[in-house]
Chains A and B, each alone.
Chain A
Amino acid sequence: MSAARLAGALIACLMIGAEPAMADAWDDCQVKDNPDLAIEGCTTTLASASGDQMLEAQYHRAFAYFGKHDFYHAAKDFTSVIASRSIAEVYAYRGLAYVYQVDDDPAFADQAISDLNQALALKPDLDTNLEKDFSFAYSVRAATNLENGQDTQAISDEDSAVKMNPDKAAAFNTDFGSAYARRALKSLANGEYDHAVSDLQQANQLDPASTDRLAPYLSEAQSGKPGPYAAIARGEQHEKDDAYDQAVNDYTDAIIASPDMAQAYLERAEAFEVLERYSDARSDFDQAVKLDSGNWRAYYARGYFHQQMAEFDLADADFSQASTVIDQGHDADAEGEKAIIDKASKSLQFDKKLEDHWVSYLKDIQTSNNYANWSSAPYDLYAGRHNLPKLPPPATASVAPMAIPEPGRAWSWWAIPLVLLIVLGVGGGGYQFYRQRNKA
């Protein structure tokens, strides 16, 4: 980064005699541990900067954005710097900014690798730690290439990823195996059994942990005849195309072919849920759990469904059961699976708390007769949906007895809050703030 240092020295000279506010902005721009301040300072500097000063401010701001994980703006600023100077590290960091966006768009992998190559061309002894992070771009590009049928390039990218970052070899292999499995299921759905067999075997080889899960797919592909797993694969393809109705038909085909197949019920239940056919979803979730009570995912999925339906106790029971099943299974991924359940339970508790507040709110607006925008008494509507007792009808509105007879002057508007006051103080009545959140 010697070029940057030189530019910095130059700018420091230029800033002598500058307006104090600009000097402050420039100081802020160079701050390393406060990206917000640096961005503000650099932006202020850039408003009136030109030449090297502009370049330097863009350089600092790019790193500030990078530090905030705002890789879009970081890449933009790095690009501005590159337009004026070819600096290896700037190419490398722009490349990394692309790497960190591959989850949003895998196409960034190509740009990232291109920048890495440019950086290495400028500086062959580039920091190896920087290089290591590009392994993720190679891994993502490997999966994309495989999906596009460019197997040779895919395998080459996968090899590069593993070579650059051996510590992550297992994860890269698992991801590459998943890419093979995805392609296999697509082939199976399309009746291309030989391709499916080949890809499934590759998937198993790269990720042995997937062998059990993929075994029935492989078996069906090897038979060369369409069966329930081909139907499930078709359903998944239809879901990707947002064709959930057709996916439901596919899963139904799977159930017809194999009536005791819990997975088919589970898949169909989730498709029903997306289609907002909640009653059908509920029925299928129940059937999936019944058919495979040793599958934690079935409990987890049903628990999540119950959570969405605001059936919190049922959701809690399912998450607990999922946890128990995981404990009993002692499988290799137990820790990760438990983490999923723990997170789900935490989310459930929050949703439940929020729902409690909502229920209190509904009670309060109903009690205070403040629900003009509702089709009928809102808490009672809620209670009806959740099999809860309705609220007792409100007492007939009446004025609390006054301590004295009506004065000759007649009531002033002051009397109204006063009546409220008395009603509140003595009889309670219906004057409630929803914030009261009384316990049900």
Chain B
Amino acid sequence: MKSGIVAILLISSCIVLGAPAFADDDIDPKLAQQLAQFKKNCEQHQAQEKEKAQKIAQAVESLPPQQKQEVKQELQRLNAAIAATDKMLAEPMPATRSEQEAYLKRASGAVAATREYESAVSKDAGIAPTSHMEQVLSRLGEADDFKTKFGAFDRQPTVKDSELNAPVPVGGNSNFFGVSGQMPPSTVTPPQTSSSYAPTTVDAATSISDHDHGVGGGVMLEGDAGGLGAVSSVDYDSATNALTLNGDLVYFVKIPPWTFATMCRQIGTDRNALLGVSETGTDGLVFGDKPEIYKDSDLAYEMMLADKFLGDIIFARRNGWTQGYKFPGSAPEGARVKSSMLVRFSFGNFQFATNDGQLALTSSSLEVRMMPTSKAPSPTGQLLPDYNAMDKGWTPPDAFVANARILTDNADYFRHEAVIQEVFADGETAALLRSLKESGQDLNALADKIDGGDAG
């Protein structure tokens, strides 16, 4: 069928190593166990926060009168926050997977924010930080000008609500999980994004195919953490969803802990630390030696959404997901192709820097490539590049290249789309984990620690 053929020709991602179940509300036992454990973790941290609140209450009595009054007010806020979180944690776990995950994100976010606030109140109460993590947290609290930069909180160009104390809307860089989404701009430099469209040569296609064990387009998270040296130790703090590296460098993880744990297992297990998916094929494609590790995870779906969204831009699918999207400059234009091809989105070149005890991202990149694919699949069903076509000078339709340039010339614009931002966050985390793996850290053990909620 004509329509079928056209669909087959345009592969906005790919390599079938597994058939993702992706049953949204069929909780597999492992995930169910993981989620139940995370709720327990939240409850344990709540208990710890209550103890700390009591210590603050004792310490506050010895403060000078004016400071005492201020800290008492802060303490009341802290107790109100603890009470609100208690109420949330008293709710039973919802039935479905998606509801459970949503619930736990709220609960974990609440716990993290409570801990964060408690850290500031503790400092004001004169209680010395007892760990490097607490020291970093307490320093974050010094950003007193944050409130006046309300619009900058989520890096929006304009303040959406002039109300002084209005809640910050989700957006920009703030909809990440946990503490990392709540840090003031002064503590985290907005990362720079470079991006490019790269014509694919036979050598480049060979290199990609060898590394990925085939090709399939899609969204690939690649590379390690530039700027991070050898890491001799890793501790995980489940209350703030953060890592402490080498005992003195804190990194706030931007993805939920259960996704973080899944990512640890995939990168820790795969021979090439592959992490990538394609939304095409009969039921989606997941890269890696053991795609079952993450094929039905949030992580895989998140990347598939990004893949389809970006693929719709490149292939200018009129009936696709970008209907109603505002494009910077001209809108993508379509083209018809007569041979199979794919587009590959590589998120990589994650560069990090340290800032006042924190490890933070400074830059990253998005590379777009297209290549023709052979009709002969690999023995495991993966696609392979059509090297002969490339040898003969194959190029994608001009319109697709122009569409790719709309994307790469305006990477910062598209990065404002939450799903793209999330994939950048996934890529950042993956890069860090690859560096930890290269330093000899046991990522499967780290995953167990994350699941178990061990505090660092």
Contact = CB atoms under 8 A, between A and B. Distances in A.
Interface of A: 36, 39, 67-73, 100-101, 103-105, 239, 242, 270-271, 273-274, 276, 278, 297, 300-301, 304-305, 308-310, 343, 346-347, 349-350, 353-354, 356-358, 360-361, 364-365, 368-370, 372-376, 378, 381-382, 385, 397-400, 402-404, 407-426, 429-439
Nearest to A305: B3
B284 to A, nearest CB: 6
A437 to B, nearest CB: 4
A435 B105 contact: yes
B334 A276 contact: yes
Contact of A424 (B88, B305, B379): B88
Interface residues of B, number: 106
B168 interface: yes
A399 B84 contact: no
A414 B389 contact: no
B417 interface: yes
Contacts of A385: 323
10 contacts: A274-B6, A346-B282, A353-B22, A358-B305, A373-B326, A397-B166, A397-B169, A416-B147, A422-B81, A430-B169
B143 to A, nearest CB: 6
B438 interface: no
Contact of B70 (A276, A358, A409, A424): A409
A15 to B, nearest CB: 24
Contact of A413 (B74, B144, B378): B144
A78 B10 CA distance: 32
B141 A350 contact: no
Contacts of A438: 98-99, 102
B375 A104 contact: yes
A375 B326 contact: yes
Contacts of A407: 70, 73-74
Contacts of A301: 1, 3
Given A278-B319, A373-B325, A381-B324, A354 B279 contact: yes
B408 to A, nearest CB: 16
Contacts of B84: 421-422, 424-426
A106 to B, nearest CB: 11
B357 interface: no
B160 interface: yes
A357 B305 contact: yes
Contacts of A414: 116-117, 120, 141
Contacts of A404: 73, 76-77, 80
A374 B326 CA distance: 5
A68 to B, nearest CB: 6
B146 A270 contact: no
A411 B158 CA distance: 21
Helix, strand, loop or mixed for chain A's interface?
helix
Contact of A425 (B88, B156, B325, B387): B88
B384 A69 contact: yes
B175 interface: yes
B98 A103 contact: no
Contacts of B321: 358
A357 B304 CA distance: 10
Contacts of A419: 165, 167
Given A353-B24, A372-B416, A416-B146, A430 B378 contact: no
Contacts of B81: 418, 421-422, 425
B319 A304 contact: no
A67 B114 CA distance: 57
Of B24, B184, B282, the most chain A CB neighbours within 10 A belong to: B282
Interface string B1-31: 1111011000000000000101111000000
A270 B177 CA distance: 45
B49 to A, nearest CB: 12
A70 B166 CA distance: 59
A375 B384 contact: no
B356 interface: no
The 5 closest A-B pairs by CB, nearest first: A413-B146, A425-B84, A436-B102, A368-B170, A72-B387
A436 B422 CA distance: 14
Contact of A418 (B24, B117, B184): B117
B378 A69 contact: yes
A251 B304 CA distance: 38
Contacts of A372: 156, 171, 416
Given A276-B334, A435-B298, A374 B325 contact: yes
A242 B24 contact: no
Contacts of A361: 305, 418-419
Contact of A354 (B143, B175, B177, B304): B304
Interface in B64-78: 69-70, 73-74, 76-77
Contacts of B106: 424-425, 431
Interface stretch (B189-197, B205-213, B242-250): B205-213
Contacts of A39: 210
A317 B425 CA distance: 40
Interface in B322-379: 323-326, 334, 336, 338, 374-379
A296 to B, nearest CB: 12
Contact of B282 (A276, A304, A350, A382): A350
Contacts of A276: 318-319, 334
Given A407-B73, A415-B147, A435-B298, A270 B2 contact: yes
A38 B109 CA distance: 48
B282 A425 contact: no
B113 interface: yes
Contacts of B413: 373
Contacts of A101: 374, 376, 388
Given A309-B319, A368-B169, A429-B167, A104 B1 contact: no
A196 to B, nearest CB: 23
